[in-house]
């Protein structure tokens, strides 16, 4: 039996089976509702459920306090009426599932593999900078990784994989060789970064949170953007800043680009600005010179939470202009 989910204030509805998360059913039907992590952490897919019953798996403290529910963590138990703050009607099944071939696996740091994946002949990767893909594992589990290449490099997919002890895919990644095949599905996530050339942008990341920011800044460089942008990239040590040559390219291609490395361990002087400490501490130390209108932050939940507090409370960034991509594990996938 399929329940009907109706969008309040419209004549649009879509079906959702009892065992399917409402967000997945909406996307399959071509209903685009803002979302990012699909794991209950970011809160982007929160909506008001005006009528009907749902089964809730993960709740978000901010959205729950506002009386909203996360569509990525709710399954229907009756017909529903929902009221999303923003939505649009697109094409059904906008994601694609493909077999891709590993053609290069580079160890860019002791604990990071950079995988270049070649698409089948005649296929192109249609995505927006900042979106991500799912690697589909043989045991049915999925692992999510941001595309690190910009959208105009459409015959490949580049992902950065940190090796995590016990990780289902990350343990495999270091051993992949040219010719190995993977199954992926993409694109996921909705990117809402403004294109206003006059709004200063602050990008903050930790470790492999650099991947989606690389895609975003490569895309800006392709468009010859003159938008003011500051990147603060955090790591425990210098080796964690695993693609420093990319910084030099942006210094040449983005006329209003600034870079700060936030490194927790003491390091020798570098030819770029180094702050000894965490990224949130670096933001605080530079608060007087930073005036971002928009923030894009990618990293651990703890890092994103700390950065968001500073940006909203100290830098006076509007909550709607703080965009985050958090590294989280879906509790339903931990079994």
Other CB atoms within a 10 A radius of the CB of residue 126 amount to 12
Handedness of CA 96, 99, 101, 105 (dihedral sign): positive
Model confidence pLDDT, tens digit, residues 222-274: 999 999 999 999 999 999 999 999 999 999 999 999 999 999 999 999 999 99
Q: How far is it, in rounded angstroms, from Cα 68 to Cα 188? A: 22
Q: How far is it, in rounded angstroms, from Cα 194 to Cα 294? A: 8
Residue 23: name the closest of 147, 150, 190, 138 by CA.
190
pLDDT grade, residue 329 (50/70/90)? low
Burial class (CB in 10 A: 0-12, 13-18, 19+), 73: buried
Q: How far is it, in rounded angstroms, from Cα 93 to Cα 30? A: 6
Tokens 């939940």, residue located:
301
pLDDT grade, residue 161 (50/70/90)? very high
Contact by Cβ (8 Å): 152, 232: no
The model's pTM: 0.85
Q: Which range is least confidently modeled, 54-63, 75-84, 208-217? A: 54-63
Mean pLDDT of the chain: 92
| Model confidence at 164: pLDDT above 70 | yes
Instruction: Region of 135 please: left (phi>0), alpha (psi -120 to 50) or beta.
Output: beta
DSSP 40: S
Q: How far is it, in rounded angstroms, from Cα 132 to Cα 327? A: 12
Find all residues with CB under 8 Å of 171, minimum gap 6, and list them. Answer: 163, 164
> What is the structure's pLDDT at 334?
34
Q: How far is it, in rounded angstroms, from Cα 329 to Cα 144? A: 9
**Residues written for the chain:** 335
Q: How far is it, in rounded angstroms, from Cα 82 to Cα 145? A: 30
Q: How far is it, in rounded angstroms, from Cα 303 to Cα 317? A: 17
Segments in the chain forming alpha helices (H): 22-28, 61-65, 170-173, 210-222, 244-253, 279-285, 301-313
Q: How far is it, in rounded angstroms, from Cα 223 to Cα 255? A: 12
More confident residue, 333 or 121: 121
Domains and CATH numbers, the chain: 3-89 (3.10.20.30), 96-190 (2.40.30.10), 201-327 (3.40.50.80)
Contact by Cβ (8 Å): 315, 290: yes
Q: How far is it, in rounded angstroms, from Cα 111 to Cα 93? A: 35
Q: Mean per-residue pLDDT for 186-214? A: 91
């Amino acid at each position: 039996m399929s329940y009907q989910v109706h969008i309040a204030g419209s004549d649009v509805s879509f079906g959702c089976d009892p065992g399917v998360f409402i967000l997945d059913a909406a996307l399959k039907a071509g209903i685009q509702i803002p979302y990012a992590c699909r794991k209950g952490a970011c809160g982007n897919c929160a909506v008001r459920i005006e009528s009907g019953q749902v089964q809730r798996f993960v709740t978000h403290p901010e959205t729950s306090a506002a009386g909203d529910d996360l569509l990525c963590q709710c399954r229907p138990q009756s017909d529903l009426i929902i009221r999303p703050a923003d939505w649009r009607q697109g094409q059904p099944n906008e994601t694609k599932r493909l077999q891709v071939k590993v053609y290069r696996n580079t160890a860019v740091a002791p604990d990071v593999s950079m995988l270049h994946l070649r698409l089948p002949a005649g296929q192109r990767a249609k995505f927006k900078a900042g979106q991500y893909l799912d690697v589909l594992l043989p045991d049915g589990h999925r692992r999510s990784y941001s595309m690190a290449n910009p959208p105009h490099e459409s015959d490949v997919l580049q992902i950065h994989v940190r090796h995590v002890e016990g990780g289902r895919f990350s343990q495999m990644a270091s051993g992949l060789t040219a010719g190995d095949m993977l199954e992926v599905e993409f694109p996921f996530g909705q990117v809402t970064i403004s294109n206003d050339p006059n709004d200063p942008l602050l990008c903050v990341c930790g470790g492999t949170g650099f991947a989606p920011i690389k895609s975003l800044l490569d895309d800006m460089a392709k468009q010859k953007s003159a938008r003011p942008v500051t990147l603060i990239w955090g790591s425990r040590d210098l080796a964690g800043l695993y693609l420093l040559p990319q910084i030099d390219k942006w210094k040449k291609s983005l006329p209003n680009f600034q870079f700060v490395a936030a490194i927790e361990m003491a390091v020798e002087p570098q030819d770029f600005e180094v702050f000894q400490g965490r990224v949130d501490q670096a933001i605080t130390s530079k608060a007087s010179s930073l005036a971002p209108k928009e923030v894009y932050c990618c990293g651990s939940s703890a890092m994103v939470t700390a950065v968001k507090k500073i940006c909203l409370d100290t830098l006076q960034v509007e909550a709607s202009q703080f965009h985050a991509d958090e590294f989280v594990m879906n509790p339903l996938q931990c079994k």
